[in-house]
Amino acid sequence: MYAIGIDIGGTKIAGALISLDGNISEMNRVPSPASSAAEMEDAIVAMAKTLLDNRDVSGIGIAAAGFIDADGSTVLYAPNISWRSEPLREKLQARIGSNIVIENDANAAGWAEYRFGAGRGYTHMTMLTSGTGVGGAVIIDGRLVRGGFGAAGELGHVRVVNEGLECGCGAHGCLEQYASGRALLRIASERARALPAGTPLRAALETDGTMDPDALRALLEDGDPNAHEALTEVAHWLGRGCASIAAVLDPQIFVIGGGVASAGAALLDPVRASFQREMSARGFHPEPDFAIAELVNDAGVVGAADLARERSRLD
């Protein structure tokens, strides 16, 4: 039997029909009307009805950025859409009729990695997603940890620098300010400005002094040493974050996803080295594995669908 996963992004909505083993049998994408909550709701309903097409599905999971209550029914706060304490499940259920759950997008992606990707075979997994920001998901004993208020796993807001850079969350020194894709661009541009004219990384600067993301990606792929030093700095912060997180959660594996993870081993090796330097009880605490996420763009829809199936099984 199928389940449906719908992933609401800032620029597009992706929806897919997912089989029991996590495979995608039909996938649709439409532009995301993020500026209007009413149009967003209409777009989700239309996407769900297209995929349903009179099929019998075990559930519909909807992944969205923001705080979702632990029941998967109310969007408490969404950063990109004007949902505030929005009873989204109730509204959608009235219009679609099927069994619906709402999940945080990073939790959905983490669950997909745990069930079908890099976290397969483990029972305690922590995922960090380094994209525009830094997201997280925590699996303990085979279960997704949503927390008492639905806001667990916000690992980008673990503090790694005392009195550090101001974060969008209102605090200072959060991991997100040092280990996101945006942080990589900032660190690379700072390094580039200190280099002699004509150095490739310096040539990748835009006229306003910011780093051109495509040029940086190309330099990383070419093995440019200055670009890799910037990546290693991001990896250092990620490793430090993982060391603090391990002291609380003790995962068997850290899975690193998001755009920055496309660097693969060039990111993972220095993350592991930094973790080893900074972990508590070094030499006595067994070391977790580190892996790059496998499902990349499809993790949101796959995880949301599987979590909907999981909830319908438990209900």
Q: Contact positions toward Zn ion, by CB under 5 A?
A: 157, 167, 169, 171, 174
Separation between Cα atoms, residue 51 and residue 308, nearest integer Å: 15
Separation between Cα atoms, residue 127 and residue 119, nearest integer Å: 9
Residues in the chain: 315
Please say which residue, 169 or 248, places its beta carbon nearer to Zn ion: 169
Shortest reach from residue 161's CB to Zn ion, in Å: 11
Shortest reach from residue 148's CB to Zn ion, in Å: 19
Give strand ranges (E) for the chain: 2-8, 12-18, 24-31, 57-64, 67-68, 75-77, 84-86, 100-104, 125-130, 134-140, 143-144, 253-257, 289-292
CA-angle at 241, arms to 238 and 244, nearest 5° = 155
Shortest reach from residue 206's CB to Zn ion, in Å: 26
Please say which residue, 56 or 163, places its beta carbon nearer to Zn ion: 163
Question: Which amino acid belongs to residue 214?
Answer: D
Please say which residue, 32 or 126, places its beta carbon nearer to Zn ion: 126
Please say which residue, 163 or 214, places its beta carbon nearer to Zn ion: 163
Shortest reach from residue 178's CB to Zn ion, in Å: 11
Q: Which residue has the tokens 């972990």?
A: 279
Shortest reach from residue 169's CB to Zn ion, in Å: 3
Please say which residue, 13 or 128, places its beta carbon nearer to Zn ion: 128
Please say which residue, 155 or 243, places its beta carbon nearer to Zn ion: 155
Rg, the chain, Cα only? 20
Bridge partners (DSSP) of residue 60 are 4, 100
Separation between Cα atoms, residue 27 and residue 291, nearest integer Å: 27
Shortest reach from residue 240's CB to Zn ion, in Å: 15
Please say which residue, 118 or 167, places its beta carbon nearer to Zn ion: 167
The number of angstroms, rounded, from the C-alpha of 262 to the middle of its chain's C-alpha atoms is 13
Please count the CA atoms within 13 angstroms of the CA of 166 that sit on its side-chain side.
2
Shortest reach from residue 180's CB to Zn ion, in Å: 10
Please count the CA atoms within 13 angstroms of the CA of 137 that sit on its side-chain side.
32
Question: Which amino acid belongs to residue 221?
Answer: E
Shortest reach from residue 136's CB to Zn ion, in Å: 12
Please say which residue, 87 or 131, places its beta carbon nearer to Zn ion: 131
The residue among 137, 172, 175 whose CA lies nearest residue 158 is: 175
